[in-house]
A and B are shown apart, each in its own frame.
Chain A
């Protein structure tokens, strides 16, 4: 392979810049030699994924790249995306963002890997099947060969996608947010998988917003913010002793570094809601049994567990939307009719997109008759200013919209709030702000909160009590 020759540079970007459609990524340069790893770290909207797309030559219409690329000894002008297509799969492997969506929903796992062996690496059909089966078994997926993507967990799908993308032996792997939506154990598995490439003499470029991923991968780290390089350096130096204010803020927003919240003082009060010996089955599979939990006014209870373990179903039961197969839910006698509310994971999906926020608030007021006076002070507490209200949900940032969702739900004076991963789509800095506000307000209004998260460190910092579902 390339490592045998004198030039061991696998990927070099010189003044790579992206522009168009209101997007500007300032020129960035980096070099990846055989065996090296580079991580681009930044919050949502920092333009890190566009850099991967510029290298691959898959930028969306309206965006164009400038600068020069050198990939496995060949030079390319970044402005000519089609020139890199012949490298796909053979020299450049792209690990996609959402593996579940990146796999053909109607094709079995083995076939999706075998086709790369056959059509890209040029093996015969039986040899390709053999190779796919061997590779998937090595990744611990021997049982999943005949499964369809819809039957795989997120972590399994990511391993299938990795096997499919790298089957033709491309020396350069680009992983674009490879751990998005995975819980901590699955995330660590993927990181380990990614590390195979540099360990075998390839080069790895990872794009992530997860600081823990950058820390575990090591190598060089570049921190990006709004298309600009903020700081760069070796992972162990940069992630432990950041120099710029932004990098310090970004790293400080990691849940494990959050300050401890004020402790819960209302443990003597009667619970707002309590569940006793719940058992739930979905699709013939038992999700959990003998689950008992109670939440007191102002208490924050964390719910953690792998994807698909029934966290959202538990919420539906406590909210009274669905029934358990066994067990009972008791709610406090003072609970008003709309006293149980939910905060959703994806803020844009929880709003009607075509109306201004003012209109949405007015409709809510007309429907539920809360006091108009309550709006302004709460908005101020949530850091939402008046001019925002004239915009539509799609026109404000995800963090602002989630705070607006909190405003909307708190105006109904809930006694119990089920927050289903409310900050998982927000970047770390915004996540910390949003959650600390939520905790503060819940304590003040004596609203019980059940907070679902896939991040145990976060739950440990925020919650008074933790419920772990095994799955």
Chain B
């Protein structure tokens, strides 16, 4: 039985590993094609990124073009890039000249800490609220939280962020509006992301709990004599949490997209911030590197979700 369970898990991990390879190739190729097709002269943009917008002239652009071999045909550039990737070499930033890996490892740490805090915060807000609402579908809490969740999810992350800045930084003056430093700097960007995530996870949790509380096994747990609290802890929580955790995987799309917006808004020195700068400066290796890391991160997070579901739901271990 144990070997069967392990077999299931290793199968899961293997298929995720394959997926990671596929994602790396697809994301790399896509960013390659997209940056090549962007309008404007690449050499000019890179030169502007290096020397500043005022210092660029045709000669500087030509120098960059020659140095980076930007006029080589697309296909050979692509093959060259792919070959480097296979050797785990992401290249050097066209702007700073430092290895992409080095730049990313620095920024990734900042992004990850922001993302982890945001997810934890959203888990503290969303599912408990949803579970409470789902125990009494149609009640006051259910209706109020539904409206709040719809509004929060309908607003884009930058709007939520701006509203939070206006309230907590400008009007109340409790928290800094932007920047990176102590705990106080983390609160608003993390909350911005967390609110968007919690809006969805609270509704998923609510629906899952409502379904569980209408189920025959939940009714049976009551009639066999368990108290409402015992029924909830023993039969409600586990069954309702499986869809919530599974849905987290889908939500990571929102998280990764949100990181780009929120980091830019709050001047947070993370990977999303770096991506925006890299795109403006046409720093192709940096764009490819960041997109790649984000794609792989997505696979990694989903693997974590799969493993959690696997542990939560004994049916999966038998299947």
Contacts and interface: CB of A to CB of B under 8 A. Distances in A.
Interface of A: 56, 58, 85, 88-90, 92-94, 96-98, 101-108, 115-116, 119-120, 148, 150-151, 161, 164-165, 167-168
Given A58-B219, A150-B315, A151-B318, A104 B224 contact: no
A120 B220 contact: no
Interface string B206-230: 0000000001110111111111001
- Which 7 interchain pairs have the tightest Cβ spacing? A89-B225, A120-B225, A101-B216, A102-B220, A94-B223, A102-B216, A104-B217
A165 B239 contact: no
B53 interface: no
A181 to B, nearest CB: 13
A88 B225 contact: yes
Binding site secondary structure of chain B: helix
B224 A93 contact: yes
A384 to B, nearest CB: 34
B234 interface: yes
Chain B interface extent, by class: 20 to 34
21 contacts: A58-B219, A88-B222, A88-B223, A89-B226, A93-B224, A96-B216, A96-B220, A101-B217, A102-B219, A104-B217, A104-B234, A106-B238, A115-B234, A116-B224, A116-B226, A119-B230, A120-B224, A150-B315, A150-B318, A164-B220, A168-B224
Interface string B52-94: 0000000000000000000000000000000000000000000
A205 B306 CA distance: 46
Contact of A105 (B219, B230, B239): B239
Nearest to B234: A115
Contacts of A96: 216, 219-220, 223
B226 A102 contact: no
A114 B227 CA distance: 15
A103 B226 contact: no
B221 A165 contact: no
Given A58-B219, A105-B239, A119 B318 contact: no
Residue of B225, B226, B242, B318 ringed by the most chain A CB atoms within 10 A: B225
B208 to A, nearest CB: 13
Contact of B216 (A85, A92, A98, A108): A98
Nearest to A86: B225
Interface string B277-319: 0000000000000000000000000000000000011110010
Contacts of B216: 96-98, 101-102
Residue of B226, B312, B318 ringed by the most chain A CB atoms within 10 A: B226
B223 A105 contact: no
Residue of A94, A96, A104, A119 ringed by the most chain B CB atoms within 10 A: A104
B314 A120 contact: no
Contacts of B315: 105-106, 148, 150
A102 B217 contact: yes
B220 A103 contact: yes
B123 to A, nearest CB: 20
A89 B216 CA distance: 16
B215 A101 contact: yes
Residue of B217, B224, B242 ringed by the most chain A CB atoms within 10 A: B224
A108 B223 CA distance: 19
B235 to A, nearest CB: 5
Contact of B225 (A58, A98, A168): A168
Contact of B217 (A58, A88, A105, A115): A105
B16 to A, nearest CB: 23
Interface of B: 215-217, 219-227, 230, 234-235, 238-239, 242, 312-315, 318
Contacts of A165: 220, 223-224
A106 B239 contact: yes
Contacts of A108: 314
A103 B225 contact: no
Contacts of A148: 314-315, 318
A115 to B, nearest CB: 6
B312 to A, nearest CB: 8
Nearest to A103: B217
Contacts of A104: 217, 221, 234-235, 239
A56 B223 CA distance: 8
A97 B314 CA distance: 24
Contacts of A89: 223-226
B223 A58 contact: yes
A24 B287 CA distance: 71
A34 B126 CA distance: 51
A168 B226 CA distance: 11
Contacts of B235: 104, 107
A103 B315 CA distance: 13
A251 B216 CA distance: 31
Residue of B221, B234, B312 ringed by the most chain A CB atoms within 10 A: B221
B91 to A, nearest CB: 48
Nearest to B226: A119
Contacts of B227: 119
A85 B223 CA distance: 8
Nearest to A151: B318
Contacts of B312: 106
Contacts of B314: 106-108, 148
Contacts of B238: 106-107
Given A96-B219, A98-B216, A119-B230, 8 more contacts: A96-B220, A96-B223, A101-B216, A105-B217, A119-B226, A150-B318, A161-B220, A165-B224
Nearest to A149: B217
A97 B224 CA distance: 14
Nearest to A167: B224
Contacts of A119: 225-227, 230
B225 A90 contact: yes
A165 B225 CA distance: 8
B104 to A, nearest CB: 40
Contacts of A167: 224
A213 B168 CA distance: 70
A58 B222 CA distance: 10
A101 B226 CA distance: 18
Nearest to A96: B220
A97 B223 CA distance: 13
A88 B224 contact: yes
Contacts of A106: 238-239, 242, 312-315
B317 to A, nearest CB: 9
A194 B230 CA distance: 27
Contacts of B239: 104-106
A224 B221 CA distance: 29
A338 B315 CA distance: 39
Contacts of B224: 88-89, 93-94, 116, 120, 164-165, 167-168
A97 B220 CA distance: 10
B307 to A, nearest CB: 16
A164 B238 CA distance: 19
A366 to B, nearest CB: 38
A148 B313 CA distance: 11
Nearest to A150: B315
